[in-house]
Structure formats: structure tokens, C-alpha cells
Chain A
């Protein structure tokens, strides 16, 4: 048992520097984190790494380079293609070499790099002496001020900048910003964006968006779900396994929830959903209350006879608690309802029985779940205090080996 719980506590080991400094085309600005050392961990036979934001960027560039050494197309196109395939290199290669390349490029919303430069195909609206009209601000601009991507649509740089800024800041778009022209779906590559955006804040936001989408669509990466934690976990193959972030949060790589062995991810998801929504409240209401047949207010009966008078001042209905029919035909039989409809009564009983049973079952498991959660909390507390003790003992001339028994000892009661 010891070894497979090691990951829970021994997080100071396995710190390794990656040191592969590739020339970054993607500058990293303003990132407070300085730890660029990748952090390798393994749980039994499940190796994984903890990546900082810079590591993620570096990893992204590595991916692009790797693909690019094979396919030999512009880096910016490779990035868009990779993003289109959710950063699955193999899938990209397969499609690139075995399929219709033209179709591939159009699906990924890029202009095929093998086409001869077609910029001159679309003749821009030229006015005299090298001026062009920008279709966004309607101003005549010198051609040097006009720019565009491979699709050939040209706008002035000011308009481009403002367009991209709006898309990035207001709409939170990163990799999926398309050309500003109407119904042109060609995507704007990252180089163009970085070239046209001046404001460092917008640049930074763009980089964040790119990194975010890179992690989110890559099946080998997952953000640590801990609030405000900026690390991501990188695995070699996705699996239901516990991983621990640098922030010490342990979670399931597959679903991102707290590690939940032996429960399956989908069951946990059901459980959380059940706990979150009000299904049990309504179960309780169904099992223990009835509705007034007239105004539908919810009533819980806590004594007395079957003759009910609704307390709702605007209703005041007289009815029988047993059959929910009007009281009048019941006369003076206050404790036994004689109007009996076999089927209806059975149905009502069954339904009530069922929701009572469901509630019982839920409460049973909820109780256990809460109990285990509580135990886990206690365990952490105990462990923290034991660790403190251990350190104290080491201060008093005891060796590291000698104090290990404490740690083992505290695991037994748990």
C-alpha cells in the first residue's frame, strides 16, 4: 500500500530541469512564474509531467517544429492545421499524406501553401498614385499601410489592429479569428496577429487564449482544476489515474475531479450532479407531502383527522387527505375514507413508496460519502501534525530513517 500512496506526500522529489531552450518565436511577457523546470512525476507506471505556462508554450512550439520537420510548410500554417486536428500529430500526418490536401486545407480554413502566391488575383480597389481604399474605415490609404493574409483581402493596419483587438478582448477569440472580410473564413495566423497588435496587454491576452485552447483541446494535457493554479499536467497517454500538480492538488487526469478511486468517472459525475441539483429535495417533498387539490400548495400532514381545510386564505378548500377528493361526500367519517379506487390508490402508493425508497437510498450513501470526506480531512490534519513532529524529532538528533516509523504508523488507523 505504501508505494501507491507515495504520490500523496512525496512531492519534493523528481524535480528535473528540462533545459531545452528552443528559439521562441512566441515571446513570453509578463509571466510571473520563473520556474521553467518541468516537473516529472510518476504514479506506479503512470508517468506525467507538470508544466508551467512557459513549458506549455515551449511544448506547443516543439510540436509545431516536429511536424514541420516532416511536412515542410510555413510554421503558421502548421499551427493552424495542428489546432484543427486538436494537436494530434499522427492524425495530421495521416491526412496530410493520404488524403486530399486541398480539402484538408480548406477544412482547416487556411490557404494552401502550395498554391502559387495569389495575392495579385484579387485586384484591390486602387485609386490614383498608389492609394487604396480600406473597406472598413472607408479612407484612402497608401498601399504600404494596407495589409492582409493569404486570402487576399486587404485592410489598413489600423483597422486590422482594432478588429483583432475587438476579437481578442471582447469575444475572447484566439486561434479562431478569421479574416475581417465578409464570409471569408481564412484564419488569421499568430504571426500576423502578433505583428499587428501593439498593446502588450492585448498580446498577452492573445497568448493566454492560445495556450488555453492548446491545453483544452489536447487530449494529453489537462489544466489543474485548483482555483488560480496555472499549471497543466502532461501525460503520455490519457487514462483514469491520479496526478498531483505542483500546487499539491491531486486529481483524476481523466475527469479533472478530485481523485475518486474506486468510483468510475461517469458515476462520480452523476453523483455530483445529483448532490448539486435539487432532485433530493423534490424527492423528499414527493415522499412526505401532498398538494392541495385546488390551489396546489404543498402540505405536510403532522396529525389530526383526514378532513383537511387548506390554510391558504384564498383557497380554503375542504378535502380528504386520503383520496384528495372533495370532503363533502365523506360526511362524518373523519378517520377512514370510504371512497376507494383500487388502481388509483395503488398507483399513488407505489409512486410514494418509490420516491421514499430513493430518498432513503440517497441519504444512506450521502451519509457515507460525507463521512469519508470527513475522515479524509482528519487524515490530512493528522498527517500534517505528524510531519511537524517528524521534523521536530529530526532537529533533536534523530535521522530521517529513524522517524519514518511515525509516518507509517499514522497510515494504519486511516
Chain B
């Protein structure tokens, strides 16, 4: 599984830079219709269809965000394939009042390929499934990903993962993992062994 992600990711950065100018010139709503030339894979038929989906996801996240979640719209508009989502620890949980940032990266194969999701910024939540470099051990981000899931679903999963935490601590293998892992969490072969937290 990790082998193709690198490739997909590379093409996505290429798509981003060319898409950037197009998105800026066109109005945000019309951006999806703009003919962005795409170097994506050949069975990736109509790029605009997936841009449309991302646009719609962005809209619905703006309109009805899950509690404590705000998406950085300007960032998403300049680069549709890279979002930053601000998240606030829910009241009554160990993370109450804390602020976190999640970074989403979408490959050209999104939504068939899962997005790359990591915590970024100053404050990385201390949680048994979150490594200090921001990588998250969550099955729907890799093998349990389904194209019917969405950014919203991922946010909700992460919120519930944080909310159900009973003790703030790092994963037991944190220092080793952080030293040896790839920058892309999707290249890690995760073992999902604990469904409780």
C-alpha cells in the first residue's frame, strides 16, 4: 500500500502548483469548472469531478462544522489539495480548551486514495495513538478508508478519539517511531490493536 502513495503524492504537488493560479483567477465557486491541466494518472478520468467533491466538502464543513472544528478557508482556496483544520478540545474532556491543527493533503486519486492527515503546529495532542511528530494511528486513514468517508467523518473520528481518552500519554514506541518513520504517515504499516481509545 505505501508504495503508490509516494507517486500519487508527487503528482499531486505538480497539480497543485498549476491549479493554484487557476483557482486564484476564477471565483471560488467557479474554480471547479476551470480547466486545470492535470498530470494525474491515466485512469483518473475527469479531474474536475474530484475538485468538485473537495469544493463541496469544503462548503459543508464551513456550513455545518462538527463541534470545535473550523477550516482555514483561505488556505484551502489557495491550495485545494492541502487544508488546515483547526480543532478545539471538547468541553469535559482531557483536552478541554486546547487548540490543535490538522493538516489534510489530498492526492489526485482522492477520494479513492485516503488523504494524508497529521497534526501540525505547536501543540500536538498527547494521546496514546498520536505520535509526537503528529502522525495519527487511526485505521480509517489507511486500510479502513472508504471513498464514502469524508473530511468531516475524519474530523469526527479524531474528535471522538480525543474525547474518549482517559490518560494523556504518548504511544509506548513514540521515540523509536518518530526517529525511524517516513514523513508521510501513509507509508507506515500500522497495527491497529486497540479499539477502546
Instruction: Name A's B-contacting residues (CB within 8 A).
Output: 135-139, 153, 155, 158-159, 162-163, 165-166, 169-171, 180-184, 199, 202
Q: When A136-B148, A159-B147 are in contact, do A171 and B1 touch as well, CB less than 8 Å?
A: yes
**Cβ–Cβ contact A170 & B4, under 8 A:** yes
Give residues of chain B (72-120) contacting chain A, Cβ–Cβ below 8 Å.
Answer: 109, 111-113
Q: In the assembly, what is the distance between CA of A199 and CA of B42, in Å?
A: 12
Give the interface segment out of B49-57, B62-70, B170-178, B186-194.
Answer: B49-57
Q: Which residue of A lies closest to B4 (CB)?
A: A170
Residues of A within 8 A of B14 (CB): none
Residues of B within 8 A of A162 (CB): 43-45, 112
Q: Which residue of B lies closest to A199 (CB)?
A: B43
**Cβ–Cβ contact B148 & A180, under 8 A:** yes
Q: When A136-B148, A182-B146 are in contact, do A166 and B52 touch as well, CB less than 8 Å?
A: no
Q: Does chain A have a CB within 8 A of B149?
A: yes
Give residues of chain B (33-54) contacting chain A, Cβ–Cβ below 8 Å.
Answer: 43-45, 49-50, 52-53
* Minimum distance in angstroms from A124 CB to a CB of chain B: 13
Kindly list 10 other residue pairs between chains A and B, CB separation below 8 angstroms, not including A138-B57, A165-B43, A170-B113: A136-B53, A137-B50, A155-B148, A158-B45, A166-B109, A169-B43, A182-B144, A182-B146, A182-B148, A183-B146
* Minimum distance in angstroms from A139 CB to a CB of chain B: 7
**Cβ–Cβ contact B53 & A138, under 8 A:** yes
Residues of B within 8 A of A135 (CB): 148
Q: Which of B43, B52, B56, B149 has the most CB of A within 10 A?
A: B43
Q: Which residue of B lies closest to A178 (CB)?
A: B146
**Cβ–Cβ contact B49 & A180, under 8 A:** no
* Minimum distance in angstroms from A400 CB to a CB of chain B: 55
Interface SS majority for chain A? loop
Q: In the assembly, what is the distance between CA of A155 and CA of B148, in Å?
A: 9
Residues of A within 8 A of B147 (CB): 136, 159, 163, 180
Q: In the assembly, what is the distance between CA of A137 and CA of B52, in Å?
A: 8
Q: Which residue of B lies closest to A166 (CB)?
A: B112
**Cβ–Cβ contact A182 & B43, under 8 A:** no
Q: Does chain A have a CB within 8 A of B140?
A: yes
Residues of A within 8 A of B144 (CB): 182-183
Q: In the assembly, what is the distance between CA of A169 and CA of B8, in Å?
A: 14
Instruction: Name B's A-contacting residues (CB within 8 A).
Output: 1, 4, 43-45, 49-50, 52-53, 56-57, 109, 111-113, 140, 144, 146-149, 153
* Minimum distance in angstroms from B66 CB to a CB of chain A: 16
Q: In the assembly, what is the distance between CA of A381 and CA of B30, in Å?
A: 74
Q: In the assembly, what is the distance between CA of A159 and CA of B52, in Å?
A: 14
**Cβ–Cβ contact A182 & B109, under 8 A:** no
Task: From the candidates B4, B52, B146, name the one contacting A138 in the complex (CB within 8 A).
Answer: B52
Residues of A within 8 A of B1 (CB): 171
**Cβ–Cβ contact A137 & B49, under 8 A:** yes
Q: In the assembly, what is the distance between CA of A166 and CA of B44, in Å?
A: 10
7 A–B contacts, CB within 8 A, in A order: A138-B53, A158-B45, A159-B147, A163-B112, A180-B147, A182-B148, A183-B146
**Cβ–Cβ contact B140 & A137, under 8 A:** no
Task: From the candidates B4, B44, B53, name the one contacting A137 in the complex (CB within 8 A).
Answer: B53
Residues of A within 8 A of B146 (CB): 180-184
Q: Which residue of A lies closest to B57 (CB)?
A: A138
Please list the 5 inter-chain residue pairs (A to B) with the smallest Cβ-Cβ separation, ordered nearest first.
A182-B146, A166-B112, A135-B148, A138-B56, A136-B147
Q: In the assembly, what is the distance between CA of A4 and CA of B113, in Å?
A: 55
Q: In the assembly, what is the distance between CA of A163 and CA of B110, in Å?
A: 10
Task: From the candidates A138, A155, A165, A182, name the one contacting B153 in the complex (CB within 8 A).
Answer: A182
Q: Which residue of A lies closest to B143 (CB)?
A: A171
Residues of B within 8 A of A139 (CB): 49, 52
Q: In the assembly, what is the distance between CA of A157 and CA of B57, in Å?
A: 21
Q: In the assembly, what is the distance between CA of A135 and CA of B146, in Å?
A: 11
Residues of A within 8 A of B53 (CB): 136-138
Residues of A within 8 A of B43 (CB): 162, 165, 169, 199, 202
Q: In the assembly, what is the distance between CA of A199 and CA of B144, in Å?
A: 26
* Minimum distance in angstroms from A164 CB to a CB of chain B: 10
* Minimum distance in angstroms from A112 CB to a CB of chain B: 23
Q: In the assembly, what is the distance between CA of A166 and CA of B45, in Å?
A: 12
Q: In the assembly, what is the distance between CA of A384 and CA of B155, in Å?
A: 70
Residues of B within 8 A of A165 (CB): 43
Q: In the assembly, what is the distance between CA of A155 and CA of B53, in Å?
A: 14
Q: In the assembly, what is the distance between CA of A184 and CA of B147, in Å?
A: 12
Residues of B within 8 A of A155 (CB): 148
Q: In the assembly, what is the distance between CA of A242 and CA of B113, in Å?
A: 45
Q: In the assembly, what is the distance between CA of A171 and CA of B147, in Å?
A: 14
Q: In the assembly, what is the distance between CA of A171 and CA of B56, in Å?
A: 28
Q: Which residue of A lies closest to B145 (CB)?
A: A182
Q: In the assembly, what is the distance between CA of A159 and CA of B111, in Å?
A: 10
Residues of A within 8 A of B57 (CB): 138
**Cβ–Cβ contact B111 & A136, under 8 A:** yes
Q: Which residue of A lies closest to B55 (CB)?
A: A138
Q: In the assembly, what is the distance between CA of A163 and CA of B112, in Å?
A: 6
Residues of B within 8 A of A153 (CB): 148
**Cβ–Cβ contact B148 & A181, under 8 A:** yes
Q: In the assembly, what is the distance between CA of A62 and CA of B172, in Å?
A: 52
Residues of B within 8 A of A163 (CB): 112, 147
Residues of A within 8 A of B56 (CB): 138
Q: In the assembly, what is the distance between CA of A180 and CA of B113, in Å?
A: 12
* Minimum distance in angstroms from A240 CB to a CB of chain B: 35
